[in-house]
Structure 1
Amino acid sequence: MALVAVLQISFNTDSYMTDENATEDCPSFRSAIDAFLLDRLRTKLDKLAPEDPKRTELIADHQRDTWLESAARRVKQIQAVTHSLKPMHPEARGTNIYVTPSSLPALNDLGSHALGSQFAVDVVGNAAALDVYKLLKLQIRGRSLLEALRANDTDALQALDDEPAKAKSLRDALVSLTDERDAGAISHVRAKQLYWLVGEDAADDAQYHLLAPLYATSLAQALYEDVQDVRFGEQNKLARQARRDGLPFDGVYREYRDLAVQKLGGTKPQNISQLNSERGGNSYLLSSLPPPVWQSQRHYLPVNARSIFERAFGARPLVRTVLRELESVLLGSRPKNMHTRDRVGELVNELVDELVAYAGELLQHPAGWTRDEAFEDLAEEEQLWLDPLRAELPEEGEFAGRWLSLDWPAHVGERFGKWLNARLRDKLPEVGYFESREWRRILLDDEGSWMQHLRAVRERLDSRCAITS
């Protein structure tokens, strides 16, 4: 019914005819633009009832001439960048920069200059105008429409309009995407700033330059794509499997250890930038720690134990220290107010962080270590938690299914609450159900470190299952 309703409207189908000279192997920019607009139109029409009067307006707005003129006006609301300000602070207003990496000085250190000609362009500004950039990202024969317009490519110009003067006007407006929007460099009170001594007298204010660091968004995107390939790419998957099986592999196995994830933009990553939105707000941070000079030999494996909370976890030095501090706060004379509750919450979160660290240490053991008879008494939910890579083994499909169901973390949370109550009860006999429930709530908090750790493992296992299927 929706299709019939569309055809009954006066629809200028000529605007959506593919270029007669185009072929599937070598399409033109005009045909690519037409296909882009038609796809956007269909998506919007599918959301409307057949009799909705807005359909006529949408069809008119998506005629090529009309839409491109609108894009030429709206492009001023966004800017193409390689170095952006908003990741420094979401409310910062100031200068963003677009600079081709190949034009930067070559250094021995890793930086944006290392990207060369292969780099991702980011876009900042009004998220409602990002469709203009999606148009300019259209590629024909490995070249984007934006690149072609910047080079005054004939095919790209003709795709905008048959009239040369009109095509040039649209071209000039669209390529302004890479121009600076501000008259000169502008910083902001919420931007990060750094006074850098360029002279020798640190007491002389005139011998400082004020630096305003920007976020190298194109470099961050390149790192993100490389890490994703290492974690989920087919080549590295085969190398990882060969390594586990002890088989030779004709290739290179890559691994990034001790990664951290920085979230930018909260629930609205598109407010930071286009690439940040495509990454779901995630940016990887590499470990900057120096090489370790010692290796801990104490992994506190739960040998012949029903739970790690029986001996292994409580034997960790940091756990003992935090428990003593927690007892001190709860037994102290300080008033039972918000500050006391916050301090208790901080200490319990330290215990949760230690749980994450403990689980990370046990990941150093070969996948499937819980199948050893020394751990046959270990509770199933703790086997699922502490030996998650066992789910990647080909013969462990049932184990993987139980892991991915994620109904077991609640049982671990209950064990954690009861364990903490038991450790405190010698000096605080009044702790009971309500305290245990609070400890469990802190552990299972969606924004807490333990649940973030489980989500990271879930993402890895989901990818593994998708590749296997």
Structure 2
Amino acid sequence: MPEPQHHASIRDLVEWFIRDRFATKAEKLAADDPKYLELQQQFDPQAWLADAARRVSQLQVVTHSLKAIHPDAKGTNLYVEPGQLNQGGLVGSHCLPADFQGDVVGNAAALDVYKFLKQEWQGRTLLERALDFDEALIDALSLDREEAENWVRAFASITEPKGTPSSHVMGKQLYWLVGDDPTDDKNYHLLAPLYGTALTHRFYAQASPNTWFFGDHNKAARKALKDKTFFEGGYTSYPNLAVQKLGGTKPQNISQLNSERGGQNYLLASLPPHWKSREIYAPMRDAFRAFKGRPDVRRTISELKRFLETDPAKNMHTRDLRDDLTAMLVDELMLFTFDIYSLAPGWTADEKCQLALEEQYWLDPGRAEEDGEFAEARRQSNWHAAVSSRAANWLNRELNHKSPLSFGDAEHHHWKRRFEGIVTEFRRQLDDLQETLRDEDNDQGDAA
């Protein structure tokens, strides 16, 4: 949807939104097509608003969700403003700023109603106005005041739990000590925790490598460290992040924001104060041999192999399970890459390194900052495609080894597409960083 232009009134905004939805639906239909005429009736402003007020009951805007606890859990979700929460000493959803983003759960087919309520006029969304029973919104929706008030109440109900408060057998529960005697059962409250989805989304945006690692501030800080010059301001780092996938190949089944993140949720390392990382060794001969050395990689390959050797039926369940296991390998490849990035840049220049050049370009991007010839060769190489192909070859070999399986080109193509997404993203981000540093060096040279 294009960005809305300035609107003279809320009514103008409402009609613009509905017209834009109609144009999207009808763009490939002829004006005399019966479906076109049907859509015209459906997207008449009053008809669409009446239908939206009915369908909004299929959605709920939430800050705390149950489905993220377990995808089959069905119970109460909550929408609670940060200011309404206990302002305790712990970090929690009460720390969110006023412009936090709420999540949406429910029927994905009704998400256009939520998009409508997110439209802004004079700095406030239509949802905010509905929650305040705003007179300007009531006047804009219908000439029939009773009808308009009913619609506004319906739209405002999107933040309210559906039905009576309830948990589910698939939810979690914990006993929380509220008294002084842990041996007395009366000193406990039984809690049914919900997932802080609004807080999770805010943290994901903040901890994303695009923000903290590739952000301008931190790039400048790393350059100052390299040049051994003073730098104003701190340096942000999130070491040992874990990635929790929610929803498998269907992240939209958990929530709207989870779908926007591709199901990825970052977890901070919760570790003892004196914990030390395991030693990370440079893969001097074969990157994928080192990759296979990771326990979770071996475990996932073994599970995928056992499943495929059963010759499962060619149905949606088989595809989903296969793709879920493959997605776990892709996530492990991302974590493996970040582990290797923690090594001192330039390790591939060691004469003992026998890695293929494409794997050197992939795993030692820091060398490009010191070695101009390496940087230029890396820039011109199609290394991301080669690495994706090597990953697919490696997975075919692992699955075929001592197995009745006999995977070939078709499977290679499928695995390659799965790996290609993350490897291409690494390339894009690293190329952007290299380009920025090169521009900064040129600017300094011109100034000198």
User: Residue 161 of structure 2: which of 180, 184, 190 is its match?
Assistant: 180
Whether 1:61 and 2:42 are equivalent positions in the alignment is yes
Q: Which has the larger radius of gyration?
A: 1
Q: CA deviation at 1:359?
A: 5.2
Deviations 1:57-90 (A, max 9, x none): 1122112111111111111111111111111111
C-alpha separation between the residues in 2 aligned to 1:270 and 1:352? 19
TM-score, length of structure 2 as denominator length:
0.74
Whether 1:382 and 2:362 are equivalent positions in the alignment is no
One-letter identity of the residue aligned with 2:137 = A
Gap change, CA 1:59 and 1:190, over 3 Å in 2: same
User: Residue 278 of structure 1: which of 248, 260, 267 is its match?
Assistant: 260
C-alpha separation between the residues in 1 aligned to 2:274 and 2:405? 37
Secondary structure (helix, strand or coil) at the match of 2:381 reads helix
C-alpha separation between the residues in 2 aligned to 1:166 and 1:353? 51
Q: CA deviation at 1:270?
A: 2.1
C-alpha separation between the residues in 1 aligned to 2:24 and 2:131? 30
Unmatched tracts of structure 2, length 5 or more: 311-327, 437-448
C-alpha separation between the residues in 2 aligned to 1:189 and 1:237? 48
Secondary structure (helix, strand or coil) at the match of 2:53 reads helix
C-alpha separation between the residues in 2 aligned to 1:300 and 1:108? 42
Alignment of 1:415-426 (within 5 A): none
Gap change, CA 1:140 and 1:240, over 3 Å in 2: farther
Q: CA deviation at 1:28?
A: 2.7
Deviations 1:139-161 (A, max 9, x none): 12321111122223333222212
One-letter identity of the residue aligned with 1:272 = I
Whether 1:254 and 2:236 are equivalent positions in the alignment is yes
Residue matched to 2:319: none
Q: CA deviation at 1:174?
A: 0.9
Q: How many residues align?
A: 405
> What root-mean-square deviation, in Å, do the aligned CA atoms of Structure 1 and Structure 2 show?
4.6
Give yes or no for contact 1:390–1:399 (8 Å, CA) kept in 2: no
Deviates more, 1:90-99 or 1:148-157: 148-157
Residue matched to 1:46: 27
User: Residue 462 of structure 1: which of 422, 428, 441 is its match?
Assistant: 428
Q: Percent identity?
A: 41
Q: CA deviation at 1:412?
A: 6.3
Gap change, CA 1:284 and 1:297, over 3 Å in 2: closer
Whether 1:154 and 2:135 are equivalent positions in the alignment is yes
Deviations 1:221-280 (A, max 9, x none): 110121232245444444445545555544443222211222222232222212122222
User: Residue 86 of structure 1: which of 62, 67, 81 is its match?
Assistant: 67
Secondary structure (helix, strand or coil) at the match of 1:56 reads helix
Secondary structure (helix, strand or coil) at the match of 1:258 reads coil
One-letter identity of the residue aligned with 1:462 = R
Residue matched to 1:363: 341
C-alpha separation between the residues in 2 aligned to 1:48 and 1:434? 53
TM-score, length of structure 1 as denominator length:
0.71
User: Residue 35 of structure 1: which of 4, 13, 16 is its match?
Assistant: 16
Gap change, CA 1:195 and 1:289, over 3 Å in 2: same
C-alpha separation between the residues in 2 aligned to 1:282 and 1:35? 34
Give yes or no for contact 1:388–1:457 (8 Å, CA) kept in 2: no
One-letter identity of the residue aligned with 1:175 = A
One-letter identity of the residue aligned with 1:387 = D
Alignment of 1:67-466 (within 5 A): 67-183=48-164, 185-198=165-178, 208-228=188-208, 229-244=211-226, 246=228, 248-294=230-276, 299=281, 302=284, 307-308=285-286, 360-370=338-348, 372=349, 374=351, 377-390=354-367, 395=372, 396-402=375-381, 405-411=384-390, 456=422, 458-465=424-431
Unmatched tracts of structure 1, length 5 or more: 1-17, 324-328, 330-336, 343-349, 421-430
C-alpha separation between the residues in 2 aligned to 1:267 and 1:295? 31
One-letter identity of the residue aligned with 2:141 = L
One-letter identity of the residue aligned with 2:52 = A
Gap change, CA 1:246 and 1:38, over 3 Å in 2: farther
One-letter identity of the residue aligned with 2:256 = Q
Give yes or no for contact 1:48–1:55 (8 Å, CA) kept in 2: yes
Secondary structure (helix, strand or coil) at the match of 2:361 reads helix
C-alpha separation between the residues in 2 aligned to 1:231 and 1:298? 20
C-alpha separation between the residues in 2 aligned to 1:466 and 1:295? 29
Q: CA deviation at 1:206?
A: 5.5
